[in-house]
Amino acid sequence: MFIKLNGNAKEVADNITIESLLLQLGVKNNKVVFVEHNGKVLSETELDVVLGKNDIIEVISFVGGG
Amino acid sequence: MDDFLLIGGKKISNRFFLGTGKFASNELMRKAIEESKVEVVTVALRRVDGGEKNENILDFIPKSCIVMSNTSGARNADEAVRIARIAKAAGMGNWVKIEVISDAKYLLPDNLETIKATEILAKEGFVVMPYFNPDLMDARRLRDAGAATVMPLGAPIGTNKGLKTKEIIQIIVNEINLPVVVDAGIGRPSQAAEAMELGCAAVLANTAVALAQDPVKTAVAFSLGVQAGRFAFVAGIAQEKNIAEASSPLTGFLQD
C-alpha cells in the first residue's frame, strides 16, 4: 500500500507500524525525531500504531535556526 | 541594574537572543549560549528523510533557556500556524517566532500573512513574536492581533548590514507599547548596541555569531553590546548638537 511520507508517496508493507517504518528509515532514535500521523503528533508510546492506506506521515526534527 | 524584560509572563535578564542555525557543531552552539549567558534561543523544524541525524539539538541547549520555535519554511499563514502547532505538540512550549517568507531572493517577510498567523496563534494561547518588515501600521496590526512583541528586521536575513531600517524602528519604538526586538541583519555588537540605544527591548542575531571566526567570543561580544546599549538608553543619552560645546570650564584659562 502507499502512504504519504514527508510529502511524497511511499510504498510500504501492509500492516506496518510507525515504529517499523522509522526503523526502515534508520531514524529510530525517538529522542531526535518525532512523528506526525494524519495531523497528530505522536508520543513515544504511540509509535506502535499500524499504518493504513493513504495515511500521512511526517518525520520531523528540531534543527538549528534563527 | 534591576532591569528585566517581561515577555509572556517570563522575566528575561539578557536582552540578547540567539538563533541556533549555521553553527559548525552543536557543541560550539552550546558554548556560545553558555559563555554569553543567553536566555532566549530559537530553533527550527525540518523533515527528516533518512538516518543522518544522531544528535538532538535540544540536548545542547541549557535547560534554563527559553526555547522558541520559529516557523521558518512557512510561505503563508496556514503553514506557519501548522508548524507552530506541531512544535508545541512536540513539547516545545508556547513561544513562537512567526516567520513567513515567500520571497526567495531577499528573504523579506510577508507582513500580511504574518499578521494572519499572529492572530490565530495568539488566540490559541501562544506567546507570539512576529518577525516583520518594519512598518508602523503593520506593527499596530500585529499588536492588535495579540503579538507579545514585534520583531522588525534591521536588514535582510544574514546580510550583517546592521540597522538599515533605523528610522522606522525608532518610530515603532516610540509608538508601539510592546517590546520591540530587532531581528535579522545585525552583524556587529556595535549595531546591536545601536538598536538598544534607540529603546529596543532586545536583539536577536544568528548568522553574525555562528559564522564569526570565534562564535563563542562573538556571542559574548553581542551580549555585552546589547547590555551597553540598554544601559545607555536607560541612563538617558545626551542630545546631539550642531554647535560645539566645551567639556572643560570656559573660565580660569592659563593665558596672558
State the pLDDT at residue B213.
97
Q: Which long-range contacts (CB under 8 A, 24 or more apart) does B155-159 make?
A: B155/B184, B155/B185, B155/B186, B155/B187, B156/B106, B156/B107, B156/B108, B156/B184, B156/B185, B157/A66, B157/B107, B157/B184, B157/B185, B157/B207, B158/B107, B158/B184, B158/B185, B158/B206, B158/B207, B159/B185, B159/B187
> Which residues in chain B are closer than 8 Å to A66, comparing Cβ atoms?
19-22, 42, 44, 70, 72, 157, 184, 204-207
Q: Are B143 and B150 in contact (CB under 8 A)?
A: yes
* Mean pLDDT of the B192-206 span: 98
Tell me the C-alpha to C-alpha distance, in Å, between residue B93 and each of A52, B38, B128, B136. Answer: 30, 18, 12, 29
State the pLDDT at residue A28.
65
In a domain, A66, yes or no: no
State the burial class of residue B44 (Cβ atoms within 10 Å of its Cβ: 0-12, 13-18, 19+). buried
pLDDT digits (tens, 9 = 90+) for B50-94: 765 678 899 999 999 999 999 999 999 999 999 999 999 888 889
- The SS3 call for residue B24 is coil
In a domain, A22, yes or no: yes
Query: Which of A43, A46, A62 is the mutation pick for testing B, counting most B CBs within 10 A?
Result: A62
Type of residue numbered B134: P
| CATH code, domain with A47 | 3.10.20.30
State the pLDDT at residue B71.
97
Query: Which of A36, A41, A42, A61 is the mutation pick for testing B, counting most B CBs within 10 A?
Result: A61
Please list the active-site residues of B.
97
ipTM confidence score: 0.88
Rounded Cα–Cα distance for residues B149 and B118 (Å): 11
Domain range for A42 = 2-61
> Which residues in chain B are closer than 8 Å to A33, comparing Cβ atoms?
48, 53
pLDDT digits (tens, 9 = 90+) for B213-230: 999 999 999 999 999 999
Q: How many beta-carbon pairs below 8 A join chains A and B?
A: 99
CB contact under 8 A, A26 and B184: no
Q: What is the pTM of this model?
A: 0.91
Residues from A contacting B (CB-CB < 8 Å) are: 6-7, 25-27, 29, 31-34, 36, 40-41, 58-66
CB contact under 8 A, B54 and A64: no
Q: Is the pLDDT of residue B256 over 90?
A: no
Q: Are A51 and A16 in contact (CB under 8 A)?
A: yes
pLDDT digits (tens, 9 = 90+) for B32-57: 999 999 999 999 999 987 765 678 89
Mean pLDDT for chain B? Answer: 95
> Which residues in chain A are closer than 8 Å to B72, comparing Cβ atoms?
65-66
**What nine digits make up the cell of B234?**
536607560
Query: Which of B25, B26, B38, B47 is the mutation pick for testing A, counting most A CBs within 10 A?
Result: B47
CB contact under 8 A, B47 and A27: no
CB contact under 8 A, A66 and B204: yes
> Which residues in chain A are closer than 8 Å to B47, comparing Cβ atoms?
6-7, 58-61
Report the CATH architecture of B5-235. Alpha-Beta Barrel (3.20)
Which residue of chain A is at minimal alpha-carbon distance from B43? A65
State the pLDDT at residue B90.
87
Q: How many domains does chain A have?
A: 1
In a domain, A39, yes or no: yes
Which residue of chain A is at minimal alpha-carbon distance from B23? A64
In a domain, A18, yes or no: yes
